[in-house]
Structure 1
Amino acid sequence: MRALIVDDEALARSKLLRMLRAFPDVEVVGEASDGTAALTLAAQLRPDVIFLDVQMPEVDGFDVAASLPDDAPAVVFVTAYDQYALRAFDAHATDYLLKPVEPERLARTVQRLRVSEHGAARASIGVPAHLMIAERGQTHVVRCADIEWLEAADNYVTIHLPGRSLLIRRTLTALLSDLGPTFVRTHRSAAVALDAVLTVRPQGKGDATVVLRGGAEAPCSRQYREALMQRLQQ
């Protein structure tokens, strides 16, 4: 079982590393001190599980988890605060460890990881405040509130922001599951942020064009138009 440890505190990483060495079937393949490094190492090392701190500078652990690709490894949240437990378990995290981590409690987590089905569909991790998008050697921290619309292409989604666009390796369905009710699908390959909609311009045969606050236009097919109008009225 290949593990990645993510924590902004070096002492916490070292302690967890020492504790995981007690399990002969667990190999710690990397450590990261922030979300940017976590995403880079997750892509390079392909771990089976990420032990992920919740509170970190700039973006928290939930934002990092939301930025992982759909075939992401299992996630075990590790934190000194118990108020995040409900959110973690609602998201079907494999486990939630409180610092200081006790050896007996860690052993139960490892056993749970051994019997879990790593091939199961990824669960939503709750509505994130940010997404971290690696593109052309850089990692961009994107506020979800700034996203105007989403455009799907196979297993990638183009995230359209004011004045720029970024590509993330997610499916549109999975990304919308994470982003929550502030976004609505308008087409099999498009979704819009409700707050960004300025005009819905009718087209022929029941289709429409959605004009967004930055001037961009997103497609809206007849299949999704009624649901869009209902959401806007709400």
Structure 2
Amino acid sequence: MELTSIAIDDEPHALSDIGDLLSLTPGVNLRATFNNVNDAITHLQEYGPVDIVFCDISMPVTDGIEGAKMLKVYCDHLVYSTAHRNYGEEAFHEGASGYLVKPIIHERLIEQIEQLKEIQEKSRREEYSEKKFAFVRGKTKHSFIRVFYQDIVYFEALLNHIKIITTENTEITYVGLKQLERDLMRHPDFIRIGKSHMISINYLKKVEGYMAFMTNGECLSIGEKYRHAFTEILRKGMLSGS
């Protein structure tokens, strides 16, 4: 599972530093950076929420503490990154999920991301424990298809449509790629393995090198960008001592 994020800081070098660190941190994607809270909120309103907002505290106009209530509407976790240690009590009073002191130590950032991933995975398992199926748009304007999560083997994104391969057949949907990807990525059973493929871990038979063999006999390539996160998922399911 990869978490999405944005970063807010009025100091350009601080934004550059956290951007560099996040690019080296597995399991998180930095969607955009901003030098003030208001521009960040405008972006979140237009493009949708993220999992994590990394935010400086001491900033002109609207500081990180003042902006907390607005930011938390559009994220699951607000993590402060600041050069000051004395804002901790205020930060956690506003519901912060983390507090990183500048200069940010990469190992501490990795620990923070891993903690938040565990929280997100638990939350999503609970969220989908009751949700058995979804409706996706069919081939015509007013048609919809019911797809059970437990039946999806994988899906493949093509130029203008998506193929959903199930245990029984193949469904075609013209729903937006980003929307379907976002919905499936929130489900704990699905993992992205390439630019065009997301698979259900329940139907993964074996992995050899960078190829994923599915129980329906198909073999899918694991893209270089997704190999680390995919390997981490496999390790969690390995027997102790493996």
**TM-score (normalised: structure 1):** 0.48
